[in-house]
Amino acid sequence: MKQILFIINPASARGNTLRKWTSLANQLPDLEIREHVTTHAGEATEVTRQALVAGVNRVIAVGGDGTLNEVANGYLDEAGCAINDGASIGLLPSGTGSDFQRSLQMSKRGDLIGTLLNGESKLIDAAAAEFRDVDGEPASRFFINVASFGLGGDVSALVNRWRASLPRWIGGRTRFSAAAIAALGQYRNVPVSMKLDDDRSIDINSNLVIVANGRFGGGGMMLAPHAELDDGLLDVIVTDGATRWDVIKELPRIQRGAHLNNPRVSAHRVRAISIRSKVPMAIDLDGEMVGYTNARIKVLPRAIRFVC
């Protein structure tokens, strides 16, 4: 018998997630299902960890990419290994961006409930990031979808800051687009040095670097169109010398993943990357601004068993 825990973020989707969950919970079959509604940031990580140690073998994040990120961080120990390698995690998406849902090509919610309860799981990659937190102290965190540096971190900081002030009818993609336009007002390229897999060095002037496990980020933008969740590699998308106007013109093509044709954009596939910048660049991990460069990221191949 599967022991399933649903972890619900009541603040996700500006409160709509809890209302949706209340309706869905009444339709669930009578299985060994538990639920936990979080009250503060980071709680889902600790609840996941405790549940897996106690024998729960499936944890479902009910919310957006940030909620899933917390569950993924609870699934892995400090070394990046599964706390319970027979357990799996999943996602019932209901968030501002829900980009990992797009990367997974998830089905409609009606089909998804049955999959989350009874479906098979597969091993997918994750990534470990080391960086400086907002107070300048060394920090580390796992992510499952996308890390972005510079503009992406600035956009996430604005989206999170606006959560309580914008009307509910303004959707996630619109919110991300508006934040991108606002962040572009302060867009400045800075000297950046990157080391790829410890043997290739790249020096650029940039304010936008993507390190991706999944394909989508930024509220539905196909940032890394060739990324695969289970190939043991991270896709690095680099801009060099791109101006503010270049980024604005490119936004429609980024939506469909066509920006790799731009001569100011290059793509690389790595197992690890170090990023150093003369001016600190904001870092976004799975939709949350977490700190600043300098940073190091490495892939964790087949680290998470995911229901999909």
- What's residue 15's pLDDT? 63
Residue 168 predicted with pLDDT over 70: no
Instruction: Tell how far CA 165 is from the center of its chain.
Output: 23
Residue 167 predicted with pLDDT over 50: no
Domain boundaries, the chain: 3-125, 127-302
Residue 229 predicted with pLDDT over 90: yes
Contacting residues for 40 by C-beta, under 8 A, at least 6 apart: none
Angle at which helices 151-162 and 172-184 cross, to 10°: 120
The radius of gyration computed from the CA coordinates of the chain, to the nearest angstrom, equals: 19
Of 32, 77, 72, 69, nearest to 53 by C-alpha is 77
Mean pLDDT of 284-291: 92
Of 79, 20, 69, nearest to 43 by C-alpha is 69
The model's confidence at residue 10, banded by pLDDT at 50, 70 and 90, is: confident
User: What gap in Å lies between CA 53 and CA 34, rounded to an integer?
Assistant: 15
- What's residue 239's pLDDT? 94
Six token digits for residue 93: 């998406």
| pLDDT higher at 79 or 199 | 79
- pLDDT, averaged across the chain: 86
User: What gap in Å lies between CA 192 and CA 215, rounded to an integer?
Assistant: 23
Mean pLDDT of 149-165: 68
DSSP 188-249: --EEEEEEETTTEEEEEEESEEEEESSS-BTTTB-SSTT--TTSS-EEEEEESS--HHHHHH
| pLDDT higher at 159 or 164 | 159
- What's residue 169's pLDDT? 42
Mean pLDDT of 273-292: 94
- What's residue 155's pLDDT? 72
pLDDT in tens, 95-134: 666 789 888 876 555 567 777 877 889 999 999 999 999 9
| Helix spans in 76-136 (H) | 99-104, 109-118
Of 194, 43, 71, nearest to 143 by C-alpha is 71
Q: Does CATH number 2.60.200.40 belong to domain 127-302?
A: yes
Residue 164 predicted with pLDDT over 60: no
Point out which residues pair with 234 in neighbouring strands: 270
The CA-atom distances, in angstroms, between 280 and each of 63, 191, 218, 236, 246 are 30, 10, 20, 19, 22
Residue 226 predicted with pLDDT over 90: yes
Long-range contacts from 47-51, C-beta under 8 angstroms, 24+ separation: 47/5, 47/7, 47/74, 48/5, 48/7, 48/73, 48/74, 48/75, 48/89, 49/74, 49/75, 49/83, 51/5
- What's residue 186's pLDDT? 77
- What's residue 3's pLDDT? 87
Instruction: Spell out the CATH class of 3-125.
Output: alpha beta
- What's residue 234's pLDDT? 98
Mean pLDDT of 236-251: 89
User: What gap in Å lies between CA 260 and CA 266, rounded to an integer?
Assistant: 7
| pLDDT higher at 55 or 20 | 55
Query: Parallel, antiparallel, or unpaired for β 208-212 and 200-206?
Result: unpaired
The CA-atom distances, in angstroms, between 137 and each of 74, 129, 140, 256, 297 are 21, 14, 10, 37, 17
- What's residue 196's pLDDT? 97
Reported pTM: 0.88
- What's residue 109's pLDDT? 53
Lowest-confidence range among 12-26, 145-159, 183-197? Answer: 12-26
Q: What percent of the chain has pLDDT over 70?
A: 85
